[in-house]
Amino acid sequence: MNRTIIMVQLWDKVKTLLSENLTVAQVSRILGVDRKTVRRYRDMSQEQISALVDREVKRRLCKLEPYRDFVVNLLREKPMLSSPQVHDRLLEHYPSFPDVSPRTVYSFVQRIRTEEDIPVAHESLREFGRVEQMPYGKQAQVDFGEMFLENTHGSRTKVYFMLMVLRRSCYKFAWFQSCPFTAESAVYAHHLAFRYFCGVPEEVVYDQDVKFLVNENYGKYHLTAALEAYVREVGYKPVFMMARDPQSKGLAEAYVRYVKHNFLSGRTYVNDEVLNDEFLGWLERTGNQNRHSVYRFVPSAEFAIEKDYLADYKASVKGPAMYARSYVVKQDNTISYKGNTYSVPLGTYQHKGSRVLIVMNEAEQQIEIYSEDPCKLIACHDVVTDRKGAVVTKPEHRRREPSKTMLKAESELRQLLTQYGDEHCTNRYLERVYNAGPRYYRKAVMGILHELRKIADCPMMIENVIQSAQELPILNPNELAEFIEEWSMGENPSPGSNIILPGGLTAQDVTPAKRSISDYGKFFEDNDLPF
């Protein structure tokens, strides 16, 4: 810990303990310091300790004075840099930079900013403007939220909710369930919201959520089948915000936080039905009754006007036949469901007791598998109903995500190979390396790159080696190393010299025998030919 900080903390502790009528000896025993030290700090005033700290800071900062010009020029050129970034630049340009704490560098940078008048330049922020009040019945906004609640068994249950709020009156509704939303359950939540509002607005604003949108298609949206059928029946216009732009529907975002902190926080989960009943009661008492802090109206009173502007709602939607349960993930990254085994992606099993959440979609006869925290769809399987003991897998679940080191090495090797050839040859060569041993592809790529780096200073040699490697069956680092060694010795290896033959055979065993030309002459002398 910084010596200055220790000094201030010790002075503060001494003053506090002595104020409790403890003796110097008692304070000395409690703090584990000498009694002379206790007396020195006892007799030191606030001004004296501040002066001592200032002297200590200046003593430390004087170590950095030789680097002042560098820091001044750096901050003038790039005033947005933080103190840790300045510290890193100093270490980068000065290998002998003294070993000082980040706090010392921070104080040094702040002093330079003050003395040289170099304020921190922030990156340009997005400008916002207040949106004008929407006409009555024009728009509603939709958003999702989730939160862990303590349940009656003493453990925790994650609840998911979809919130819809009318833009003009701020009149809101939400539907809660203990399983993740699917396209069908989200449509059912729409149905309940429009029934609660007793009508439908002209448009509903959404995020680009997979429960609603298959493809943005540059504004010509491809909706999910469930939402598309519902929109066609009800007749409102779905509007999707740009990706990663939550501010565009800030009202719904704000009310999601409002529901979490004002309704869900501290509540005990019993079941979905009880939670939804409690929420309706909260809306009637608080959620739609409290005066809005910005618009200064009561949402329920404003809704009494807006509801006359909403279109009639006559749709009938049946609640989705689905349920969710938590299942244990086996060590081989599979789960057992109704007597059959279904695969999940590698890495889902983290430790003993790892679990996933399964949602049964009766309409599609599929199970959707979600990770618990964060909730994310990781797999989807058609349900096997005609037999037991079936093992249902997907090839992509057996593939491991390549590491960053592997991706970087492959990218560098691809760039090097393409430099001395075309992209088609590079792709074909890497495919041959993979097919030669998929399990060893990572080691092969990194080994081949290592061997090529050794001759990177010889452009002519590396060009010849790469071109030959793409033509010959040189598919692992050992073969490449032997090829480079023979080439560097001037032996100019021929195609096939590096081929590894099966069964312990050598090149001599498979080389055809050669006859002398005299043997053929003798053959012609001993045989009378008709021509």
Beta-bridge mates of residue 177: 160
| 244 or 195, higher pLDDT | 195
Identify whether residues 175 and 36 lie together within a single domain. Answer: no
315 within domain boundaries = no
Identify whether residues 153 and 105 lie together within a single domain. Answer: no
Distance CA 301, CA 171 (A): 9
- CA 243 to chain CA centroid, nearest Å: 16
**Total domains present in the chain:** 4
Identify whether residues 340 and 417 lie together within a single domain. Answer: no
Q: What percentage of the chain reaches a pLDDT higher than 90?
A: 22
Residue with tokens 């007791």: 353
CA atoms within 13 A on the CB side of 333: 19
Distance CA 287, CA 136 (A): 20
Listed range (13-17, 132-136, 469-473, 517-521) with the worst mean pLDDT:
517-521
Distance CA 239, CA 226 (A): 16
Mean pLDDT (the chain) is 81
487 within domain boundaries = yes
Q: What are phi and psi of 347, to 5 degrees?
A: 100, -10
Identify whether residues 392 and 415 lie together within a single domain. Answer: no
Q: What are phi and psi of 317, to 5 degrees?
A: -120, 130
* 509 confidence band (pLDDT: 50, 70, 90): low
Q: pTM for this structure?
A: 0.47
Q: Return the closest-CA partner of residue 180 out of 158, 163, 155, 152.
A: 158
Using the 3D structure, point to which of 397, 414, 431 is the last residue of a domain. 397
Domain membership of residue 408 as a residue range? 404-510
Q: What are phi and psi of 338, to 5 degrees?
A: 50, 50
Identify whether residues 213 and 288 lie together within a single domain. Answer: yes
* 525 confidence band (pLDDT: 50, 70, 90): low
Provide the residue type at 215 as one letter.
Answer: N
User: The CATH number of the domain where 160 resides is what?
Assistant: 3.30.420.10
Is the pLDDT assigned to residue 102 strictly greater than 70?
A: yes
Do residues 112 and 75 make contact, with C-beta atoms less than 8 angstroms apart?
A: yes
Is the pLDDT assigned to residue 465 strictly greater than 70?
A: yes
Q: What is the 3-state secondary structure (H, E, C) of 112-157?
A: HHHHHCCCCCCCCCCCCCCCCCCCCCCEEEEEEEEEEEEECCCCEE
State the average pLDDT over residues 19-45: 86
Distance CA 10, CA 325 (A): 55
Do residues 394 and 379 make contact, with C-beta atoms less than 8 angstroms apart?
A: yes
Identify whether residues 223 and 343 lie together within a single domain. Answer: no
128 within domain boundaries = no
Q: Return the closest-CA partner of residue 211 out of 80, 359, 347, 411.
A: 359
Distance CA 466, CA 443 (A): 18
Identify whether residues 408 and 488 lie together within a single domain. Answer: yes
The pLDDT score that the predictor gives to residue 363 is 63
423 within domain boundaries = yes
Identify whether residues 334 and 264 lie together within a single domain. Answer: no
Rg over CA atoms, the chain:
37
The pLDDT score that the predictor gives to residue 179 is 80
pLDDT tens digit string along 360-411?
776 667 888 888 766 678 888 988 888 888 999 888 787 666 677 778 888 8
User: Which one of 98-102, 284-288, 326-330 scores highest in mean pLDDT?
Assistant: 284-288
Identify whether residues 282 and 264 lie together within a single domain. Answer: yes
List the 391-392 sheet strands across, edge first. 334-337, 340-343, 391-392
The pLDDT score that the predictor gives to residue 103 is 81
The pLDDT score that the predictor gives to residue 136 is 93
Using the 3D structure, point to which of 244, 275, 309 is the last residue of a domain. 309
Do residues 84 and 90 make contact, with C-beta atoms less than 8 angstroms apart?
A: no
> Long-range contacts of range 491-498, CB-CB < 8 Å, 24 or more positions apart?
493/468, 495/471, 496/472, 498/472, 498/473, 498/474
Straight-line distance from the first to the last Cα atom of the chain, in angstroms, rounded to the nearest whole number: 106
State the average pLDDT over residues 7-28: 85
Identify whether residues 269 and 382 lie together within a single domain. Answer: no
Contacts of 249 (CB under 8 A, 6+ apart): 141, 142, 143, 205, 206, 207, 241
Q: What are phi and psi of 156, to 5 degrees?
A: -120, 145
Distance CA 359, CA 330 (A): 18
Distance CA 307, CA 199 (A): 7
* 494 confidence band (pLDDT: 50, 70, 90): very low
319 within domain boundaries = no
Identify whether residues 381 and 444 lie together within a single domain. Answer: no
